[in-house]
Amino acid sequence: MVNVLFVCLGNICRSPMAEAIMKDLAEKEGLEDKIFVDSAGTGSWHAGEPPHKGTLNILKEYKIKTEGLVARPFSREDFDKFDYIIGMDQSNIQNIYKMTGQPDHPKIIRLLDLTHLKKDVPDPYYTGNFRETYELVSEGCRMLMEKIKKEL
């Protein structure tokens, strides 16, 4: 079992979007029993809430399941549980480093560093552009899936 955790700031936009997309990819590849996917936020103010309406709408548009997506805070224990901790931007990565005490650990990766883009995923909570976020997160998740398939 490969355990993947996506992390953003509040766990209502980017990371639950990535969680849903990655679960969808795993199901399409027949790997849902080999890849466990979750998401969390480095901030806890949205804990227990569903994803942002913009995230839910774009996932619905692409027929990606959203059941069970609930915001939760990232914890130090997540470092031990997950094989991949995928941050959406450099600020999230820095927060993860601080929270885990594991700076520059290879299991902590910025999502778009897996692609040719090598940049942050913009936060649609502030930009309002959920389509751009969806496209970038989808590309990152596809590259992560390819990486995991090679390891399996």
Active site residues: 8, 14, 123
Using a 10 angstrom Cβ sphere, with 0-12 exposed, 13-18 middle and 19 or more buried, the burial of residue 127 is exposed
